[in-house]
């Protein structure tokens, strides 16, 4: 569906994405595989477009959350390996095999179900074993008293008919957090993971083709954890403190335009609840960007957007479809003037910190009614609106 209205839009800089990929690829070296995490529509950036570019650039694997996300990529000519990190019902095993999709296996019960279904349909399902080393979410429990039973369970899963255990992986909980305690916890997770791998491989008499555990924090801070493949997420899209340190570039810029400007006298309450009252004659702009577009209402009266003349503070409570910005000292900004919500001129990291969250949550929150414009070599090559036509 094409939008007839340039209201609020996201610009996706594929050149920045390519730069980030190449920078990270140079960092990890030629002998380590690169998995691009493209779940949740590539964190709001567009999974098909991002995956297309990663495939072109020579990435080795993609990761998604569900079979629906994986098949969407297959139906859009993405042929490279895809790993589903989340749960897939056993009834979908035949489709996993049909579309050549790799499935994470997180416990004995799922391994048995997947094996049974794979045998029924006469195929082989490629799997990656998930080990819970301290994230306390998904995976075979292997820490402490669970080590022996965990290793035994993994070996059993790897030996079941209809399954090919290509890989084994875990997920770090605090590799991106500072401090000695977080460093020690990450090192413990990594040591446990390598101990599990050693025991399983000895019992099976073979080596896993792909061992992986390095997420964004580990790619930036713990090179010893890179093993056979890394899984940068936040880094790939150019956000967070590590991105700045490594010279990466933000991929998404979210923009809007001024739709109305009014001048109010001193003492005028702005928006719902009147939490902001003008303290002088104030030139106030209205922009069509609200919480239905992904602007967290918790940021009301707290954040700053960017105009061609510099920063403009957001005023009053954020509404569903719009909000107000103070243009009192920005006399050249008029109706139709462009405003950057976040991007290259207005760091998403600042807005995320104000909302006490991570940049991912802000990019994922950009709603489907916000069209995405894709740029390569400085020119728009594609646009996409997720609303049904």
Closest by CA to 102, choosing from 201, 28, 210, 218, is 210
Residue 114 sits in the same domain as residue 170? yes
Residue 166 sits in the same domain as residue 195? yes
Residue 83 sits in the same domain as residue 173? yes
Confirm whether residue 297 is marked as ligand binding: no
Residue 150 sits in the same domain as residue 175? yes
Specify the pLDDT at position 4: 54
272 is catalytic: yes
Q: Is residue 350 part of a domain?
A: yes
Choosing from 237, 272, 295, the residue where a domain stops is 237
pLDDT surpasses 90 at 326: yes
Residue 198 sits in the same domain as residue 345? no
pLDDT digits (tens, 9 = 90+) for 175-226: 999 999 999 999 999 999 999 999 999 999 999 999 999 999 999 999 999 9
Residue 263 sits in the same domain as residue 309? yes
Strands (E) across 4-110 are located at 8-13, 33-37, 61-64, 82-84, 102-105
Instruction: Give me 269's structure tokens.
Output: 């309450």
Specify the pLDDT at position 131: 98
Residue 132 sits in the same domain as residue 217? yes
Buried b (16+ CB within 10 A) or exposed e, 117-143: bbbeeeeebbbbbbbbbbeeebbbbbb
204 or 6: which leads in pLDDT: 204
Residue 220 sits in the same domain as residue 133? yes
Specify the pLDDT at position 254: 98
> Measured in whole angstroms, how far is the alpha carbon of residue 39 from the centre of its chain?
6
Q: Is 293 helix (H, G, I), strand (E, B) or coil?
A: coil
Q: Is residue 364 part of a domain?
A: yes
Name which of 2-11, 136-145, 226-235, 312-321 the model is least confident about. Answer: 2-11
pLDDT surpasses 80 at 65: yes
Confirm whether residue 135 is marked as ligand binding: no
Arithmetic mean of pLDDT, 324-338: 97
pLDDT band at 294 (very low <50, low <70, confident <90, very high): very high
| Overall domain count for the chain | 2
Residue 305 sits in the same domain as residue 189? no
Specify the pLDDT at position 1: 47
Q: Is residue 150 part of a domain?
A: yes
- Give the CATH number of the domain where residue 65 resides: 3.20.20.10
- Render 332-370 in DSSP notation, one character per residue: T--TT-EEEEESSSS-HHHHHHHTTS-HHHHHHHS-TTS
Q: Is residue 17 part of a domain?
A: no
pLDDT band at 3 (very low <50, low <70, confident <90, very high): low
Residues 6 or more apart from 110 whose CB is under 8 A from it?
87, 90
Arithmetic mean of pLDDT, 168-180: 97
Say which of 146, 198, 262, 272 is annotated catalytic: 272
- Give the CATH number of the domain where residue 377 resides: 2.40.37.10
Choosing from 211, 237, 263, the residue where a domain stops is 237
pTM of the complete model: 0.95
| Domain containing residue 321 | 252-384
pLDDT band at 2 (very low <50, low <70, confident <90, very high): low
pLDDT band at 6 (very low <50, low <70, confident <90, very high): confident
Mean pLDDT (the chain) is 96
pLDDT digits (tens, 9 = 90+) for 345-379: 999 999 999 999 999 999 999 999 999 999 999 99
Choosing from 181, 206, 237, the residue where a domain stops is 237
> Measured in whole angstroms, how far is the alpha carbon of residue 102 from the centre of its chain?
19
pLDDT surpasses 60 at 27: yes
pLDDT surpasses 90 at 387: no
pLDDT digits (tens, 9 = 90+) for 112-160: 999 999 999 999 999 999 999 999 999 999 999 999 999 999 999 999 9
First-to-final CA distance of the chain: 5
Say which of 39, 255, 317, 330 is annotated catalytic: 39
pLDDT surpasses 80 at 43: yes
Q: Is residue 152 part of a domain?
A: yes
140 is catalytic: no
Residues 371, 3: contact at Cβ < 8 Å? Answer: yes
Residue 206 sits in the same domain as residue 327? no
Question: Angle CA(142)–CA(143)–CA(147) in degrees, nearest 5?
Answer: 50
């Amino acid at each position: 569906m094409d939008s007839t209205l340039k209201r609020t839009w996201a610009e996706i800089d594929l050149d920045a994405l390519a730069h980030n990929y190449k920078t990270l690829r140079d960092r990890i070296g030629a002998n380590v595989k690169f998995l691009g995490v493209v779940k949740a529509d590539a964190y709001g950036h567009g999974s098909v477009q991002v995956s297309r570019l990663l495939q072109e650039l020579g990435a080795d694997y993609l990761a998604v959350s569900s079979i629906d996300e994986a098949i969407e990529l297959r139906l859009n000519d993405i042929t490279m390996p895809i790993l589903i990190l989340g749960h897939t019902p056993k009834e979908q095993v035949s489709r996993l095999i049909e579309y050549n999709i790799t499935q994470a296996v997180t416990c004995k019960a799922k391994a048995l179900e997947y094996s049974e279904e794979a045998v029924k349909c006469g195929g082989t399902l490629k799997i990656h074993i998930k080990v819970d080393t301290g994230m306390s979410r998904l995976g075979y429990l292997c820490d402490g008293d669970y080590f022996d039973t965990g290793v035994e369970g993994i070996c059993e899963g790897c030996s079941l008919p209809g399954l090919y255990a290509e890989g084994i992986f875990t997920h770090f909980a605090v590799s991106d957090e500072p401090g000695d305690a977080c460093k020690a916890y990450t090192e413990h997770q990594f040591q446990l993971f390598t101990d599990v791998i050693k025991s399983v491989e000895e019992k099976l008499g073979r080596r896993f083709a792909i061992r992986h555990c390095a997420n964004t924090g580990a790619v930036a801070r713990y090179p010893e954890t890179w093993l056979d493949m890394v899984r940068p997420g936040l880094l790939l899209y150019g956000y967070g403190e590590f991105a700045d340190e490594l010279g990466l570039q933000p991929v998404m810029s979210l923009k809007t335009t001024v739709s109305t400007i009014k001048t109010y006298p001193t003492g005028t309450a702005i928006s719902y609840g009147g939490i902001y009252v003008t303290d002088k004659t104030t030139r106030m702009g209205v922009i069509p960007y609200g919480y239905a577009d992904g602007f967290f209402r918790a940021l009301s009266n707290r954040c700053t957007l960017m105009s061609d003349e510099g920063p403009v503070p957001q005023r009053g409570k954020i509404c569903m479809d719009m909000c107000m910005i103070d243009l009192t000292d920005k006399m050249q900004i008029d109706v139709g003037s462009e405003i950057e919500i976040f991007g290259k001129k207005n760091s998403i990291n600042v807005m995320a910190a104000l909302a006490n969250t991570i940049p991912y949550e802000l990019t994922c929150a950009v709603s489907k009614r916000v069209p995405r414009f894709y740029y390569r070599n400085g020119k728009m090559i594609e646009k996409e609106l997720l609303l049904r036509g």
